[in-house]
Amino acid sequence: MASTVIKGGTVVTADLSYLADVRIEHGVITEIGLNLQGDQVLDASGCSVMPGGIDPHTHLEMPFMGTYSADDFESGTRAALAGGTTMVVDFVLPGQGQGLMDAAQMWHNKSTRANCDYSYHMAITWWGEKVWEDMAESVKAGMTSFKHFMAYKGALMVNDDELFASFRRVGELGGLAMVHAENGDVVAELTAKLLAEGNSGPEAHAYSRPPQVEGEATNRAIMIADMAGVPLYVVHTSCEEAHEAIRRARQQGKRVWGEPLIQHLTLDDSEYQHADWEHAARRVMSPPFRNKKHQDSLWAGLQSGSLSVVATDHCAFTTEQKRYGLGDFSKIPNGTGGLEDRMPMLWTHGVNTGRLTPNEFVAVTSTNIAKILNCYPKKGAVLVGADADLVVWDPQKEKVISAKGQQSAIDYNVFEGQRVKGLPRFTLSRGQVAVVEGRMQVQQGHGRFVPRAPRGAVNQALSAWKELTAPRPVQRSGIPASGV
């Protein structure tokens, strides 16, 4: 049996750092200890041996705004591995009237060339009996998290009654409710007003989606989830108003998690004021980049634990695709890339600055989301029996980010010119060495679908609490409670 040993590094997990070698056989970790021997030895001296990153928010080959996002499962997962991410979670997006399992099959067809493991969230893009029924099938098939768009009116948006009905169903099935939280009605009104006033450039995209639309929707989703008795995950939390709602909810004991993106942590809204239309349009995404005050809030959330996960929302469009919105910002395809850069950018701006410890880095890039999505410790762990999805992280290795030589299929990089310090020496996907010192040796089709079970510990705890505190009729003598 061929074995690989990662030798001489410091194992860094979400809660511990210690010197140890790691032995891998058949794609899983079989031993952790000192002086291990193996057929293949990977030198980890001077490096941290960490769980590979998990990016829980990607849109690969996604049909959106009249086009498809440019990175598919092949280039997207190649970019992921290059940056130390070993699992992505993409969103199955059923069309209007389309069955959920039919859409899931389309996603399975797209992912056959994936270079690393992947899982799916299911999006609820319309509502009806068929969706309600299919949600149980989705859970049985391992897609237990359900995303709802509160924005994109007239396209993906669901209304509050649909949100409540769907959240209740997710709660009943032991799943996780997810939201893109922006008030889509207000965004639509502001967009129309801005365009009517001659505000048609990419900067108006940001004006049309102020922090208030996100704060309001986040708070609304939290309250609806609480009434529905379901845990809630808020994607791409970008501002203090949304963070405040999440922080408050968590302090109240609600089961809510917030996910800032690496883009929102490190890039700000001055990008939209750039004189070059293409520069600004390439950075159009929802929610838009915010100012320094919001960035400080997001960093503080990661430090204090009120925000839990750093993702990318990787949804990359070429400059040519962005040009669909020349003369009308509302037609610029929304989305930016980040898969290759999330880990190095977060290490550089988080760990190297002292905002995050290396253990906190592991928590927010891998372990926390593995627990939230109920695939820990198969993923997100350096433990015997866990999948050998690992990154050997060299804290001294540097580069300047550039579109030239990147793995993503697009022609630019929103982090262009940024110097990062902290990069993978090796990235391993279930034991297969996919990256060596920046050289790619991925195996197309190596990636496998990761099904996830429902009714994790948080679902069980929340259900028990909701049952205990459920409204009950007062028993009064002489009056039948049922009214019969």
Q: Any contact of residue 180 with Zn ion (CB under 5 A)?
A: yes
Cα 76 from Cα 204, distance rounded (Å)? 29
Q: Rounded to the nearest 10 degrees, what angle do helices 211-228 and 160-173 cross at?
A: 50
Residue 391 interacts, among ligand URP, Zn ion, none and using kind-specific CB cut-offs from 5 to 8 Å, with none
Q: Hey, is 65 helix, strand or coil? A: coil
Of the candidate spans 8-16, 152-160, 250-258, 307-315, the one that interacts with Zn ion by CB under 5 A turns out to be 307-315
User: What is the x/- site pattern for ligand URP, positions 168-207, by CB under 6 A?
Assistant: ------------x---------------------------
With CB under 6 A as the contact rule, the residue among 88, 285, 345, 423 that binds ligand URP is: 285
With CB under 6 A as the contact rule, the residue among 58, 218, 286, 306 that binds ligand URP is: 286
426 contact partners, CB below 8 Å, separation of at least 6 = 6, 42, 44, 390, 391, 392, 433, 435, 436, 437
User: What is the x/- site pattern for ligand URP, positions 104-143, by CB under 6 A?
Assistant: ----------------------------------------
375 contact partners, CB below 8 Å, separation of at least 6 = 119, 450, 452
Q: Are 315 and 64 in contact (CB under 8 A)?
A: yes
Q: Any contact of residue 452 with Zn ion (CB under 5 A)?
A: no
Residue 238 interacts, among Zn ion, ligand URP, none and using kind-specific CB cut-offs from 5 to 8 Å, with none
Q: 280 vs 315, which CB is nearer to ligand URP?
A: 315
Q: 71 vs 313, which CB is nearer to Zn ion?
A: 313
Question: Residue 422: enclosing H or E segment and its boundaries?
Answer: strand 419-429
Touching ligand URP, residues 52-71 (CB under 6 A): 59
Burial of 472 (0-12, 13-18, 19+ CB in 10 A): exposed
Q: 7 vs 59, which CB is nearer to Zn ion?
A: 59
Of the candidate spans 111-119, 180-188, 199-207, 408-416, the one that interacts with Zn ion by CB under 5 A turns out to be 180-188
Q: Are 335 and 68 in contact (CB under 8 A)?
A: no
Q: Are 89 and 120 in contact (CB under 8 A)?
A: yes
Q: 180 vs 452, which CB is nearer to Zn ion?
A: 180
Q: 23 vs 148, which CB is nearer to ligand URP?
A: 148
User: What is the x/- site pattern for ligand URP, positions 319-348, by CB under 6 A?
Assistant: ---------------xx-------------
Give the chain's radius of gyration (CA, Å). 22
Cα 18 from Cα 40, distance rounded (Å)? 22
Interface contacts to ligand URP, rule CB under 6 A: 59, 180, 285-286, 313, 315, 334-335
